[in-house]
């Protein structure tokens, strides 16, 4: 893969006439909605500073060190979860190996009171948000529809249907706007999800009502086995926001510095009352779609090998080391924390669950319906009858 320019400037490094330095029109008209000509990036594939520098403010070293630690922990957690599927401890697991910059960046761009609306692939994002790893895996284990408290963590339940979470995010963001809380909702969605009607309804609603929502598209090239070119004829997925009047941007999703910078700008745009923002991250999943998928059937072996060269953790580590912001001790500490998280995840998932049948009726309605009460009573009688000695 050749090294390309990602900043949208002309080859001489100067902004083209009538456009801002990122390639976007600077007159405030419809062109100001357009994403950069090429995905924004701060780092080369080797982790050196890219030139010319994008116009977005770079995140500080403290935030970048947090991102590095979270990505190291997230990758080890992801590998442990993948191993647990092979041991029969998880029913299914969608790996995000290779997409750690997006998983971590989506969380670190938010404030504690903001809401995250994940897909089924956002397990690393959930752990980064502070959710216990075992609780994050409850859905994928089949123990519960949602193993964590959404209100406590400001994280909606992981969503298996494609793109339905984008509608929920748009509605919640609008509600927060009406209440004047200043909170933002960030909805993650895959490239395949942008072909769903829910995605377009969410964008249209959010744009019309200027809801403080960020739509974060992780374009990893495939909707299971369907390549991007069979999904859309758009120049990029970021252009899908422009038709709805939504400010849009493209970013190198394997560049943690760029992901953090662009998402921070998107969140601030939404929080400041300027309406929704769409960010498309160009990234790649190195593993199969899930443990039930065989990616070798639809992509060449050389493709993952090429993307490993753009590994987000290696790029950020090289960048921070060059600037003296990361030491051998820091790297060792992150690795040790990652192993501790993996060990705790193994221990929790190796314990056999003890489901309580009556819990089926919890969290269905705030006030149970008469039909639900009747069904609960019927099941309780059946369980009590089984306990009576014959």
CATH number of the structural domain spanning residue 106 = 3.40.50.970
Given a cut of 90, is residue 156 above it in pLDDT?
yes
User: Are residues 281 and 383 both part of a single domain?
Assistant: no
Average pLDDT over residues 144-163: 93
User: Are residues 277 and 363 both part of a single domain?
Assistant: no
Most confident of 17-21, 291-295, 326-330: 326-330
**Residue 52: is the preceding peptide bond cis (ω within 30°)?**
yes
User: Are residues 365 and 228 both part of a single domain?
Assistant: no
**Going by C-beta distance under 8 Å and a sequence separation of 6 or more, which residues neighbour residue 103?**
71, 74, 96, 122, 124, 125, 128
Could you list the active site residues? 285, 289, 298
* CA separation for the pair 305, 309 (Å, rounded): 7
Cα 97 to chain centroid, rounded: 12
User: Are residues 155 and 139 both part of a single domain?
Assistant: yes
**What's the predicted TM-score (pTM) here?**
0.89
2 lies in some domain: no
- pLDDT tens figures, 263-280: 999 999 999 999 999 999
Cα 294 to chain centroid, rounded: 23
User: Are residues 364 and 256 both part of a single domain?
Assistant: no
The residue with greater pLDDT, 155 or 390, is 155
User: Are residues 327 and 249 both part of a single domain?
Assistant: yes
User: Are residues 243 and 381 both part of a single domain?
Assistant: no
User: Are residues 368 and 230 both part of a single domain?
Assistant: no
Nearest in space to 191 (alpha carbons), one of 165, 156, 216, 164 = 216
9 lies in some domain: no
What domain range includes position 270? Answer: 31-350
Given a cut of 90, is residue 6 above it in pLDDT?
no
Indicate the number of domains in the chain. Answer: 2
- Residue 28: what pLDDT? 57
User: Are residues 366 and 224 both part of a single domain?
Assistant: no
- Residue 143: what pLDDT? 83
336 lies in some domain: yes
| Confidence tier at 29 by pLDDT (50, 70, 90) | low
């Amino acid at each position: 893969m050749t090294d390309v320019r990602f900043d949208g400037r002309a080859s001489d490094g100067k902004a083209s006439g009538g456009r801002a330095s990122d390639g976007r029109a600077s007159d405030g008209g419809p062109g100001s909605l357009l994403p950069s000509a090429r995905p924004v990036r701060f780092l080369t594939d080797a982790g050196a500073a890219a030139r010319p520098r994008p116009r977005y403010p770079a995140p500080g070293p403290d935030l970048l060190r947090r991102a590095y630690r979270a990505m190291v922990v997230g990758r080890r957690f992801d590998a442990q979860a993948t191993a647990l599927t092979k041991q029969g401890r998880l029913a299914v697991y969608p790996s995000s190996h290779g997409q750690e910059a997006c998983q971590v960046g989506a969380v670190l761009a938010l404030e504690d009171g903001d809401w995250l609306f994940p897909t089924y692939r956002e397990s690393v994002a959930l752990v980064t948000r502070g959710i216990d790893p075992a609780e994050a895996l409850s859905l994928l284990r089949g123990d519960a529809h949602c193993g964590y408290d959404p209100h406590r963590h400001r994280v909606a339940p992981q969503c298996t249907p494609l793109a339905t979470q984008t509608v929920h995010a748009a509605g919640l963001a609008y509600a927060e706007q009406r209440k004047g809380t200043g909170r933002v909702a960030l909805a993650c969605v895959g490239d395949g999800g942008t072909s769903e009607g829910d995605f377009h309804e969410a964008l249209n609603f959010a744009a019309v009502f200027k809801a403080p929502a960020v739509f974060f598209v992780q374009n990893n090239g495939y909707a299971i086995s369907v390549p991007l070119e069979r999904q859309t004829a758009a120049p990029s997925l970021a252009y899908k926001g422009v038709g709805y009047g939504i400010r849009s941007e493209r970013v190198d999703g394997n560049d943690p510095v760029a992901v953090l910078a662009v998402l921070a700008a998107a969140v601030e745009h939404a929080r400041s009352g300027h309406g929704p923002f769409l960010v498309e991250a160009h990234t790649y999943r190195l593993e199969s779609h899930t443990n039930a998928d065989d990616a070798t059937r639809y992509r060449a072996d050389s493709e993952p090998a090429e993307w490993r060269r753009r590994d987000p953790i290696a790029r950020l580590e090289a960048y921070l080391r060059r600037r003296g912001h990361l030491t051998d001790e820091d790297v060792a500490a992150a690795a040790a924390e990652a192993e501790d998280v993996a060990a705790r995840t193994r221990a929790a998932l190796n314990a056999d669950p003890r489901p309580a049948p009556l819990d089926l009726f919890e969290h269905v309605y705030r006030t149970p319906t008469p039909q639900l009460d009747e069904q609960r009573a019927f099941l309780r009688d059946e369980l009590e009858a089984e306990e009576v000695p014959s």
